[in-house]
Amino acid sequence: MNKYRRFFIKTFSSSILLSGIFFSFVSLQNQKFLKKIKKTKFKNYVWYLDKND
Amino acid sequence: MIIRDIKVLKNKLFPIIIIGSGPAGITIAKKLEENKINSLIIEAGDEEYQEASQEYYKSKVFGDDITDLRYSRLRQLGGTSGHWGGWCKPIEKWNIEKWGLNYEEIYKYQEETCKILEINNDFKKSKIDNYFNQIQFEYSKVRFADKYKDHIKNSKYINLILNSQITHFNGDNGKIRSVVVMNNKKRYELKSKIFILCSGGIENSRILLWTKEKNKGLINDDLPIGKYWMTHPWIVGGVGFLYKSKLKSLIKNNFLIHDGPLHISTSKNITLEKNILSGAMYMNAKEDTKIYKEIIKDFLCVAPKYGKKIAKSILKKDLKCGNIFMNLEEPAVQSNQILLDPKETDENNIPLTNLYYKKSKKTVESIKTILGELGKTFIKYNLGRIAIKPEIEEMNNYENLGVHHHLGGTRIGKNKKSSVVDEDLKVHDINNLYVSGSSVFTYAGYANPTFSIVQLSIRLAKNLTSKIV
C-alpha cells in the first residue's frame, strides 16, 4: 500500500473514532442532565426542578 | 393645514392621497413634506376620541374570543398611537428575511424611526445559550396626534381632512382613479395620482374588500385580501424567579442593564431545531407584591432545601421574580380572516367586518416547548427555576390577556395567491395603490408592530419620492 494512502487512512479513521467518542459523550452528558430534571405539580403550576432541589 | 370644508377639495389634485392618520400615514406625509411633496391625509375620526365615531369599528368575531375590535384600535387623529403601550423593538433579521425583504433595506431606517418615536437606538441582544437571548425593548411615549397636530396645522405640504370615511376606490385597467369619501353623510370623490392605504390591520382589508365588490375586475380575484390575519397572543405562561447575578456571570460583560423588565427571547436556532414559533418573555414583580411572596412560598413547599437559599437573594435584591409574561408569534393561517358582513352595514352603508379567528395548536405547542426549554436552561446554569401552567404543560389551551395587535390581511409577497402587496408595498396588478401598516406583515414575529410600521412607512415614502421628484 502506498505510504500516503496509509497515512490518510490512519488520520481519517482516528479522527472519525475521536469525533464518535466526543459526540456520544456529549449526548450522554445531555441524557444525564435530562435525567436530573423532575416536574412537580403544586397548586396551580408544574415546577421544573433539579432532582437535588 | 387642516381642511375644515371638504368642498374645497373637489377640484384639487394632490399627487398623493393617504388614507388614515396613524403612525404609518403621518410618517409618510412627513417624509413627503421633507421633499416638498403635497399630500392629503383623509382621517375617518376627529381630532380627539369620540365614542360615536368609535362605534363605526363595531365588528363580529367568530371562533375564539379576542379583545373587542371597537376598542383595540382608535378612530381618531394619530390612530391607535393614542393609546398604545409604546413598546418598541425591530423585527428580528431572520424574520424579516422570511417575508422576502432585504433586511438592510429596512434596517437603514432604524435610526430615523427611533428619532420619530423618541427612543434610543439601543436594541442590544445578548446570547444566553443556543436557544435564548437576553433582549432589550425601548419604550416610546409618542402620541402621533400630540406630537404632530400643530405641525400639520402649520404645514404647507401636509393637508388633513377629518371626519371623512373612505368607502372604496374607483378605477379601471389596473389604475385607481378616485377614492369615495363620506363626509357629513354626503358622498365625495377625490382624485389623485397615487393612493396609500394606512388604515390599520382591519380597515385596510375592509376597504380593499369593498372596493372589489364595487368595481368588479379592478382587483385581481386571486389576491387573498383579508386572509392570513394574525395577532400576538399575550399570555402568562407560568411563574418563576431568576438570579440576576448568575445571569450576569453567565453572559459576562454582555448582560444588558436597562430600565424595565428583564426580557428573554427565543433564538433562530430553537425555532428551527424544534420547529416552533418565536416568542419573548419577561418577568417584573416587585419584592413587596403578593405574587412575589406567593411564588417564593410555593417554591419553598416544592423544594425546601433550595428554597432556603433564596431568602438571601431576596435581601440582596438579586431576584427577578413574577409571572412569566409571553408575547408570541402566531402562524399565518389562511382561514383566520376578515370578511365583509353579508347583511349589517355602518351608518355610511359600508358592510361591517367579521373576523374569523381560531387559536392554533402550533401556538400551544410552541409555548410548551419554549417554557420547557427555558426551564432546562434555568436548571443547567442554575439561573433560577420556573413553573408552567398545567393547561400549557398538557397542551390543552392558553388564555389571552388581550389581543391588541392586528396583523396580516394584505401581506407582502411575490406570489399573488398568497400575498396582496409586493415588496414595494404596491397592490399586485394595480399600479398606483400602496398599503402600509401592520396589515402587510407576512409573518408576525414576536416584536410589537409599531416600530416596523414606521420603518416600512419611511421606506415607502422614500421610494415614492424618488418616483415623483
pLDDT at residue A23 greater than cutoff 70: no
Share in percent of chain B as helix, strand, coil (round to 5): 35, 30, 40
Buried b (16+ CB within 10 A) or exposed e, B229-263: bbbbbbbbbbbbbbbbebbbebbeeebbeeeeebb
**What's the total number of domains in chain B?**
1
Q: How far apart are CA B164 and CA B183, in angstroms?
A: 5
Question: How confident is residue A27, by pLDDT bands cut at 50, 70 and 90?
Answer: low
Task: Residue B239: list chain A partners with CB under 8 A.
Answer: 45
CA distance A25 to chain B (A): 17
Angle (deg, nearest 10), helices B23-34 and B450-468: 30
Q: Does any domain span residue B42?
A: yes
From B254, B165, B174, select the one nearest B218 (Cα to Cα).
Answer: B174
Q: Does any domain span residue B309?
A: no
DSSP state of B57: G
| Residues B388-412, mean pLDDT to the nearest whole number | 90
Number of Cβ within a 10 Å radius of residue B70? 14
Decide if B387 and A34 are in contact by the 8 Å CB cutoff: no
- Phi/psi for B59 (5° steps) reads -145, 155
B410: its cell numbers: 394584505
| Residue B63 CB partners (closer than 8 Å, separation 6+) | B336, B356, B357, B358
- At residue A37, the pLDDT reads 77
Question: How confident is residue B400, by pLDDT bands cut at 50, 70 and 90?
Answer: confident
Q: Does any domain span residue B22?
A: yes
Asked if residues B436 and B460 have their Cβ atoms less than 8 Å apart, the reply is yes
Mean pLDDT, all residues of chain B? 92
Q: Does any domain span residue B325?
A: no
| Residues B106-119, mean pLDDT to the nearest whole number | 97
**A37 CB near a chain B CB, below 8 Å?**
yes
From B331, B336, B373, B72, select the one nearest B238 (Cα to Cα).
Answer: B373
Structural domain boundaries in chain A: 3-50
Residue of B306, B375, B376 lying closest to A53 (CB–CB): B306
Q: Does any domain span residue B291?
A: no
Task: Residue A49: list chain B partners with CB under 8 A.
Answer: 302-303, 306, 379, 385
pLDDT at residue A34 greater than cutoff 70: no
Question: How confident is residue B154, by pLDDT bands cut at 50, 70 and 90?
Answer: very high
pLDDT at residue B18 greater than cutoff 70: yes
Which structural domain, as residue segments, surrounds residue B213? 2-86+142-228+408-468
Q: Does any domain span residue B221?
A: yes
pLDDT in tens, B254-263: 878 766 788 9
Mean pLDDT, all residues of chain A? 72
CA distance A23 to chain B (A): 17
Q: Does any domain span residue B261?
A: no
Question: How confident is residue B387, by pLDDT bands cut at 50, 70 and 90?
Answer: very high
Q: Does any domain span residue B155?
A: yes
Q: How far apart are CA B194 and CA B434, in angstroms?
A: 8
Question: How confident is residue A30, by pLDDT bands cut at 50, 70 and 90?
Answer: low
pLDDT in tens, B160-190: 999 999 999 999 999 999 999 999 999 999 9
Q: Which chain B residue has the Cα nearest residue A43?
A: B298
Q: Say which CATH number the domain at B10 has.
A: 3.50.50.60
pLDDT in tens, B271-283: 999 999 999 999 8
ipTM of the complex: 0.81
